[in-house]
Structure 1
Amino acid sequence: MKNEGTVVLVTGASSGIGDATARTLAGAGYRVFGGVRRPEAAATAPGVEYVRMDVQDDASVAAAVSKVIEKAGRIDIVINNAGVSLVGPVEATSDAEAHALFDVNVFGVLRVTRAVLPSMRNNRRGLVVNISSVLGFLPAPFMGLYASSKHALEGLSESLDHEVRAFGVRVVLVEPSFSRTNLDINATQTQVMLDEYASAYTQSVNAVRQQISDAPPPETVANKILSIVRGAYRLRQPADGRARLLSFLRRFAPSAQVDKSLRRAFGLQS
């Protein structure tokens, strides 16, 4: 979409990819609203207007979307970026931990999308950009619940795109690999750690930390999102070179080769 007068809402805009995206789009001339839980504590970015939004709360989401529409008249693009992570063995993950993660990564996207779609349908124009991950199409040891939430997001997004395109609305999945953000660096760990998994878990976490240290900054994803909103439509959009390679391998490499490569990348014995 052209940037003249285009209204963008970015969720989770206080840090990481959300902050970088809000800054990048505002700098490119878009009218950007940043959804944050605590606007008074947000590090303000030039050209970004902040609105209070907790994606885990229906009323908060509805109020934030209404406020943006009241101020700007519409929402042309929503970027569902707000997310949380969780690392630890699947066996050690509690129901409460799993529910909390899905409440943000899946139901949070659902709440925001439901809130913006009526306006987009009425205007016969809109773009829903959902921030997924390479773990939306690949497994990851000790990140099973996070990967599951991103797999769910991919299915939700692809189904939704079929439903809304008749109204001039499309859905895009952005699939980054690891980024140098607090979400990846300071991922929450399961409260329980079973001794049987401890050695493999430590090896995996160390391998991931090394990948994060070599990963691109969040601005790489932000620039990809800018190219997406400006360019031709495509549903799945790997956000960086590593993500593009992994997407290619997942589709075309023999499954045994992919499995072996993934285990090596996560520090596990074959």
Structure 2
Amino acid sequence: MQTIMITGTSSGYGLEMARHFLDKGWNVVATMRRPDDTILPASRDLRILPLDVTKEDSIAAAVAAAGPIDVLVNNAGIGVVGAFEATPMAQIRRVFDTNTFGVMAMCQAVIPQMRERRSGIIVNVTSSVTLAAMPLAAAYTASKQAIEGFTGSLDHELAHFDVRARLVEPGYAPTTRFAQNADLNVEDLIPPAYAGFAAPIFEGFAKPALTTKETDVAEAVWAAVHDTSGRLQFPAGADAVSLFAARRC
């Protein structure tokens, strides 16, 4: 049985990924900052470990406890929505600490064992904002775009050791907590000058034409793990697939 380690499994995409791979008979190492909050069902193939991807000691402890890892999925992330000029730099750094540097730190922690075995897959979960920039999400978009370039370069670098790096790009899912993870009130990040501009955008968030389901993302990760074509990007969800196709035209 192969082992997959997934970050950010307390809810949303990560939770569904854990369920999906458990259903497929994999050993799953599900990580989250507060393991006591998990709603994952008990299983002999499931291990739940505490992990904060912004802390090096937490990463080292989780990777050591996980044992040999065949697949790493970097899913943990936070979002922030608001006008860039009103977004505190401290919050922007926090977004990058989790979405960008946290991903890179997890990769550094796991790559050595994959390189030595000459086998392994790293799947980095970004966002459809990398396919088409979304207004009022500049900091979030930048943090995810950085991982797009990083993953492409990393895949070339690790191919020599038969290790692969892949991208899964989820679309918009109203059921995820996204901006709530930033612990900021969106209203505080919309100055009066932006109110008229922001109103129709938030209306679009509330009634999107196309959305992404958690199962779409889990299935895209599954496809990325099993793909042998050398493909780098895997859009997830009808909206992301549509944006990906439009970008390639």
The residue correspondences of 1:67-106 to structure 2 (distance < 5 A) are 67-69=65-67, 74-106=68-100
> Which one-letter code corresponds to 2:109 in the other structure?
A
**Structure 1 Cα separation of the partners of residues 189 and 132 of structure 2:** 25
| Residue 192 (structure 1) shift | 3.7
| Residue 226 (structure 1) shift | 1.6
Partner SS, residue 223 of structure 2: helix
The count of corresponding residues between Structure 1 and Structure 2 is 243
Identity of aligned residues (%): 33
Q: Which residue of 1 aligns with 2:28?
A: 32
Matched, 1:165 2:159: yes
2:81 touches 2:179 (CA, 8 Å); kept in 1? no
**Structure 2 Cα separation of the partners of residues 191 and 111 of structure 1:** 31
> Which one-letter code corresponds to 1:108 in the other structure?
G
Q: Output the TM-score relative to the length of structure 2.
A: 0.92
Q: Which residue of 2 aligns with 1:63?
A: 61
**Structure 2 Cα separation of the partners of residues 240 and 192 of structure 1:** 28
> Which one-letter code corresponds to 1:26 in the other structure?
L
Q: Which residue of 2 aligns with 1:260?
A: none
**Structure 2 Cα separation of the partners of residues 20 and 193 of structure 1:** 32
The residue correspondences of 1:1-270 to structure 2 (distance < 5 A) are 5-45=1-41, 46=43, 47-69=45-67, 74-184=68-178, 186=180, 188=182, 189=186, 191-211=188-208, 215-232=211-228, 233-252=230-249
Partner SS, residue 134 of structure 2: coil
**Structure 2 Cα separation of the partners of residues 78 and 215 of structure 1:** 26
**Structure 2 Cα separation of the partners of residues 186 and 145 of structure 1:** 15
| Residue 216 (structure 1) shift | 3.2
Q: Output the TM-score relative to the length of structure 1.
A: 0.85
> Which one-letter code corresponds to 2:82 in the other structure?
G
Partner SS, residue 224 of structure 2: helix
Structure showing greater radius of gyration is 1
Q: List runs of 5+ in structure 2 lacking aligned partners.
A: none
1:130 touches 1:172 (CA, 8 Å); kept in 2? yes
Runs of at least 4 residues of structure 1 off by over 3 A? 184-188
- RMSD (Å), alpha carbons: 1.7
**Structure 2 Cα separation of the partners of residues 64 and 187 of structure 1:** 22
| Residue 187 (structure 1) shift | 6.1
Change (3 A) 1:61 1:6: same
Write the deviation string for residues 101-135 of structure 1: whole angstroms up to 9, x where unpaired.
11110011011111000110111001000001111
2:19 touches 2:40 (CA, 8 Å); kept in 1? no
